[in-house]
Amino acid sequence: MRHDSMRNALTIDVEDYFQVSALAPYIPREHWDSHDCRVERNVDRILLILDDHYSTKATFFTLGWIAERYPHLVRRIVDCGHELASHGYGHQRASELSEPAFRDDIETAKKILEDVSGRQIKGYRAPSFSIGKGNLWAFDCLEGAGYRYSSSIYPIHHDHYGMPDAPRFAHRVRDGLLELPVTTARLFARNWPASGGGYFRLMPYPMSRWLLRRVNRVDGQPAIFYFHPWEIDDGQPRIPGINAKTRFRHYLNLHRTEGRIRCLLDDFVWGRMDEIFLANPEHAVASDSLTTKGR
């Protein structure tokens, strides 16, 4: 039963198992087309799960690479009433691209997604939350390309990403651009991950539920949760030769993720990023003191 009335943002990063950044050393980008692509069946499964649970609407951050090859999938996402947003073109980390290359990536992805869907693309999420102190110029590129919000910063310590001193909630980084960080809970003078991904598969579900409820009730803010289609696919091919750390992170509890997602849909009220943050001024900027951060 959903007892909380605050609407949170549910987001899905639409990429396939062989496109994950942690597997990049083992799967060259030029070999992607040779792998069994499972994203279409997994996204279709997610669409059914969402429809089965209160006709929940979500935001799908989708790769341009996927949209080119599966345009009908992109149209199904939009036809089901979900928001389509950009995850860049080829899942290259923003922190590994030059400014011109990043601009080309986000503009190419936006054009492909808009051409395929017939909808304006307002949101962007950098692969692996790869906007940080070293490439804040990315916000200028996003504003210039016509995006209205980014969800590309994770305010935690992590070995692959993170900007722990960044604002935890919605804040304006450019005049026409909001940054909507994925959710953390503040405990013991530190930010703790509370928004999905590998942490959601690692922690017992009651812990994830408690952290999200704390953000809603103590901070009074909507949460932003994310997961990937490959995370509900325990039948995906196992990549040989990967190191133990990567194997643990990628395959841990895949068989439990769908059940946990269903619990999440039952325990909280969910919606699209654009409808929660762009349509509701009270959530657009969490605090006036945050408007200059990130410049």
Chain centroid offset of residue 39 CA: 15
Question: Is the sign of the CA dihedral 261, 83, 100, 65 positive or negative?
Answer: positive
Q: Rounded distance, CA 265 to CA 110, Å?
A: 29
CA distances from 130 to 106, 140, 235 (A): 13, 15, 29
C-alpha dist (Å) from residue 294 to 19, 86, 222: 29, 21, 21
Phi, psi of 171 (to 5 degrees): -150, 155
Interacting residues of 69 by C-beta distance below 8 A, sequence separation 6+: 37
Phi first, then psi: give them for residue 30, nearest 5 degrees: -70, -10
CB atoms within 10 A of CB 213: 18
Domains of the chain, by residue range, sit at: 7-290
pLDDT confidence of residue 145 = 98
Q: What is the pLDDT of residue 287?
A: 43
Per-residue tokens: 130: 């790869």
Residues 112-144 have pLDDT tens digits of: 999 999 999 999 999 999 999 999 999 999 999
Closest CA to 184 of 143, 204, 156, 207: 156
pLDDT tens for residues 223-242?
Answer: 999 999 999 999 999 999 99
Coil, helix or strand for 35? coil
Q: How many residues does the chain have?
A: 295
* Angle of the 138-145 helix axis to the 99-117 helix axis, nearest 10: 30
Spans of the chain, pLDDT less than 70: 1-4, 158-160, 281-295
Judge whether 222 and 216 are in contact, CB under 8 Å: yes
The predicted structure's pLDDT at residue 109:
98
Tell me the pTM.
Answer: 0.94
The confidence score (pLDDT) of residue 5 equals: 77
Instruction: With H, G, I as helix, E, B as strand and everything else as coil, classify residue 21.
Output: helix
The CATH code of domain 7-290 reads: 3.20.20.370
Short-list 188, 186, 198, 187, CA closest to 158: 198
Q: Quote the pLDDT of residue 141.
A: 98
